[in-house]
Amino acid sequence: MIISVALVTIVKNEVNRIRGTLESVVKQTIPPSEWIVIDGGSNDGTINILLEYQKYFTSFIVEEDGGIYDAMNKGINLCNSDYVLFLNGGDYLNSKNVLEFINDNSGSDLLSGNIEVRSGQDYIIWCPPTRIDPDFFYDTTLPHCGTVIKKSLFLDFGLYDNTLKICGDYEWFVRLVNNKTDLKYYKIDLTIATYFKDGISTHNERLRIKENNRIKKAYPYIYRMRRKHNWFEFMYTSLLYPRYFLGHFIKLIFSRIK
């Protein structure tokens, strides 16, 4: 089945990496059905590089925005394709046949593949789960550069909450699994993108915790059930292995002393 996949690229001041992002798209064996590029007002030379590739863009916007999720929402509103993949400035598609592979494995609401996470010279390959449910999102999420999302989901369940600065995609996934009981998810055996671990969410742990706590208050059911699950699991394990209980008890005492 032939589907349409839109790429949405959000960028601001990525002069050192943006060319790699653009080249990874241009070299695809099949092009995206749409390529929407939104620059938040770069002043480091990024816009000059984007202009070199403008002929490949379906839409190209340069303007100040209200943050990452405000810009991503602009991209969603502009696209008319079946699916959306966010490939933000600095990240790049991992191989030249990514879009072709996605097209051959389409049909679900969400398709998630591996991503290569780089930090300096080191890297790891992050692999998505084989299935997702509210429990999966208790303390983690799906990376947007490795997840292809059916456009209609944004129409049915809303756009990203742009009052959040770094956890808007996490909140959207939690909202989705809490409201869509028949969600079709498929894990694809492909490394979709390379992601560099030096963005705002990596270096602002305090803000990430603050926003996560806000999300937990907004969706108490998912977290309340997980806490109950953790408690029952703890009690069951403690009965089988008394040393496990003793170890946690000692940790609790020392934490109170500190």
pLDDT tens string 208-258: 889 988 888 888 765 554 554 455 554 555 565 565 456 555 654 554 454
Higher pLDDT: 248 or 81? It is: 81
Computed over every residue of the chain, the mean pLDDT equals 86
pLDDT of residue 103: 87
Phi, psi of 108 (to 5 degrees): -90, 175
Percent of the chain with pLDDT over 90: 67
| In a shared domain, residues 203 and 227 | no
pTM: 0.83
| In a shared domain, residues 134 and 244 | no
Q: Tell me, rounded to whole angstroms, the distance of Cα 49 from its chain centroid.
A: 25
pLDDT in tens, 134-154: 778 877 899 999 999 999 999
| In a shared domain, residues 196 and 155 | yes
Show the tokens assigned to 11.
Answer: 């960028």
For residue 206, pLDDT over 70 is answered with: yes
| In a shared domain, residues 165 and 253 | no
| In a shared domain, residues 235 and 158 | no
pLDDT of residue 222: 57
What Cα–Cα distance (Å) separates residue 242 from each residue in 117, 238, 239? 39, 5, 6
Domain region containing 43: 5-218
Sign of the dihedral defined by the CA atoms of residues 134, 135, 141, 146, in that order: negative
Count the domains in the chain: 2
Higher pLDDT: 115 or 217? It is: 115
Q: Which of 109, 57, 104 is nearest to 84 (CA)?
A: 109
User: CB-side exposure of 47: number of CA atoms within 13 Å?
Assistant: 11
| In a shared domain, residues 139 and 45 | yes
| In a shared domain, residues 159 and 230 | no
pLDDT of residue 64: 92
CB 23 within 8 A of CB 102: no
| In a shared domain, residues 151 and 241 | no
| In a shared domain, residues 243 and 138 | no
Q: Which of 136, 196, 198, 139 is nearest to 167 (CA)?
A: 139
| In a shared domain, residues 89 and 212 | yes
Mean pLDDT of 49-74: 96
Q: How far apart are CA 27 and CA 61, in angstroms?
A: 23
| In a shared domain, residues 211 and 229 | no
Q: How far apart are CA 29 and CA 101, in angstroms?
A: 10
Domain with residue 179: its CATH number is: 3.90.550.10
Amino acid at the residue 152: S
For residue 162, pLDDT over 80 is answered with: yes
pLDDT of residue 60: 98
Higher pLDDT: 121 or 189? It is: 189
CB 67 within 8 A of CB 165: yes
Sign of the dihedral defined by the CA atoms of residues 158, 202, 61, 57, in that order: negative
Q: How far apart are CA 60 and CA 179, in angstroms?
A: 33
| In a shared domain, residues 94 and 28 | yes
pLDDT of residue 238: 53
